[in-house]
């Protein structure tokens, strides 16, 4: 009889498992080792591209688990190193370029930037920035207009089937699907005893509210998330520490509370 998966962890990367400033995750190593020791799964769920996730997933030793890429717009299968088809991305770009100038001129996506420019605004090195530019499903970018102009821009995009998601740094456009949409399919496949989600930004909210337990890791670079459904009853909590330090402390505490250590 197959042993049930004790815990399946869904985690955002930038500002959560990975430091917003240094892109390091060393501080989370003790919890990652503990999770591996009990046979728990860790699913990376990020706005990052498949090209970025492949490299990170290997470095973290998490290749045996699927990964949610580009804010839930796509999925990377376990062990896969094959980049997905990018037809969806070109459709997003075509729709964006067909928008009226009064909105389009205020939105500067990765497709409008050189790799060096992406490196400058993200803090990534040129190689990592090049992987971030290899889009398959979605277009992150910066908005320079005012709030009313943004509302009109997003309304126009929605009428054309393009959905906008606010992350830790960028406004990302896609054809839809959230991290929670992909999460539901993965849970159905692995049927874990417990699920937990960790995140720091608005594009993590559905994921945090879908898991059995949600953990908000504060990101001092962004406004705090508003009170979420589940915080009043305690199945969504907030760490006091930030980034991988907060991730590590929260996960080690959770393993003790679930008697999984």
Same domain, 63 and 97: no
Same domain, 125 and 235: no
Provide the annotated active-site residues: 12
Query: Could you tell me if residue 39 is inside a domain?
Result: yes
Same domain, 165 and 200: no
pLDDT in tens, 120-161: 998 889 999 999 999 999 999 999 999 999 999 999 999 999
The count of structural domains within the chain is: 2
Lookup: tokens for 109: 């996506």
Query: Could you tell me if residue 195 is inside a domain?
Result: yes
Same domain, 72 and 93: no
- Residue 2: pLDDT band (50, 70, 90) is low
Q: Residue 42: what pLDDT? A: 98
Same domain, 189 and 152: no
Backbone angles phi, psi at 84, to 5 degrees: -70, 160
Domain boundary among the residues 127, 153, 174 is at 174
Same domain, 91 and 161: yes
pTM over 0.75: yes
Domain containing residue 251: CATH number = 3.40.50.1000
Lookup: tokens for 220: 């001092």
Per residue in 30-48, is it b (16+ CB within 10 Å) or e — as a string? ebbebbeeeebbbbbbbbb
Q: Residue 195: what pLDDT? A: 97
Three-state secondary structure call for residue 194: strand
Three-state secondary structure call for residue 38: coil
Q: Domain residues for 62?
A: 7-81+178-257
- Please tell me which residue, 66 or 222, carries the higher pLDDT value: 66
Scanning the structure block, which residue is given the tokens 């390091």? 24
Same domain, 77 and 187: yes
Same domain, 186 and 77: yes
pLDDT in tens, 80-121: 999 999 999 999 999 999 999 989 999 999 999 999 999 999
Same domain, 91 and 146: yes
Asked if 260 and 5 count as a contact pair (C-beta separation under 8 A), the reply is no
H-only helix segments in 10-146:
29-37, 50-60, 87-97, 101-104, 115-122, 126-132
Domain boundary among the residues 155, 174, 193 is at 174
Asked if 34 and 251 count as a contact pair (C-beta separation under 8 A), the reply is yes
């Amino acid at each position: 009889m197959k042993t049930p998966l004790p815990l399946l962890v869904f985690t955002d990367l930038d500002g959560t498992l990975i430091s917003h400033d240094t892109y390091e995750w060393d501080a989370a190593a003790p919890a990652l080792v503990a999770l591996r020791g009990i046979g728990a799964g860790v699913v990376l769920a990020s706005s990052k591209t498949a090209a970025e996730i492949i490299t990170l997933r290997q470095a973290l030793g998490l290749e045996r688990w699927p990964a949610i890429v580009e804010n839930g717009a796509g999925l990377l299968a376990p062990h896969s190193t094959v980049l997905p088809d990018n037809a969806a991305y070109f459709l997003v770009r075509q729709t964006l370029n067909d928008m009226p100038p009064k909105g389009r001129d205020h939105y500067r996506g990765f497709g409008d930037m050189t790799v060096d420019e992406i490196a400058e605004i993200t803090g990534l090195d040129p190689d990592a920035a090049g992987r971030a530019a290899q889009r398959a499903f979605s277009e992150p970018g910066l908005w320079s207009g005012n709030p009313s102009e943004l509302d009109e821009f997003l309304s126009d995009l929605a009428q054309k089937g393009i959905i906008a998601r606010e992350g830790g740094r960028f406004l990302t456009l896609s054809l839809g699907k959230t991290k929670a949409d992909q999460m539901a399919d993965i849970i159905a496949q692995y049927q874990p005893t417990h699920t937990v989600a960790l995140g720091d930004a608005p594009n993590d909210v559905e994921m945090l509210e879908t898991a059995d337990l949600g953990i908000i890791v504060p990101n001092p670079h962004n406004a705090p998330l508003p009170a979420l459904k589940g915080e009043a009853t305690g199945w969504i909590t907030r760490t006091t520490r930030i980034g991988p330090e907060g991730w590590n402390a929260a996960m080690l505490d959770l393993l003790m509370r679930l008697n999984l250590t």
